[in-house]
Amino acid sequence: MGWVILDRSEEADAQMIIYNSDGSRAEMCGSALRCVSKLVSEHLSRTSLKIKTDSGIKAASILPSEGIIQVNLGSAKLLRQDMEVSPLCGDLLDIGNPHFVVWMEDLEANPQLQYGAYLEHHSAFKAPVNAHFARVISDREIEMKIWEHACGATLACGTGAACTVYSGIRKGLLEDEVLVRVPGG
């Protein structure tokens, strides 16, 4: 859980500022960006927007007839592939905030609860990370469990889903369009 502040911006249609539950400031949140985009769209009566975030200006499009809110999170960057953080191995990625993605055969044991806090503040990372544990269902569908920095286990993470899919594509596990199943739906 966190706190999202919507403010004016001279550079964009609005500015989104996010505080985590521990009071630290978050660089980005894909889910919050979608919510903020909907509110700003209704307020400005526009369907194409630019929202300033701590990780840069993001574009959003609202498709009211389809009930769709699209946001461009930017491109994920692979910082380190197959990084050993004993006893796990994963990919370190950035999409405005850092994510560590671990691919597993089974998620039934809730690895986010076992390893999330351990990975979040591990000395192997320059800054705290969001930790994601993913399982391939097919080359077009994955299951993902989430541990977010300063929040703990969460039901969804838009930037984490984007990084996890990117990691899976880079590893040859996934196609370009993927359904991501998270605890929140």
Residue 50, token pair as written in the block: 């630019």
Is 157 annotated in the active site? yes
- Residues 6 or more apart whose CB falls under 8 angstroms from that of 105 comprise 135
Q: Say which of 29, 35, 151, 163 is annotated catalytic.
A: 29
- For residues 52 and 12, give the distance between their C-alpha atoms in angstroms, rounded to a whole number: 6
- Residues 6 or more apart whose CB falls under 8 angstroms from that of 64 comprise 47
Residue 112, token pair as written in the block: 């986010």
In DSSP terms, 93 is beta-bridged to 78, 99
**Phi then psi for 64, rounded to 5 degrees?**
-60, -40
- For residues 163 and 161, give the distance between their C-alpha atoms in angstroms, rounded to a whole number: 5
Q: Say which of 35, 89, 151, 157 is annotated catalytic.
A: 157
- For residues 185 and 183, give the distance between their C-alpha atoms in angstroms, rounded to a whole number: 6
Active centre residues (catalytic):
29, 157
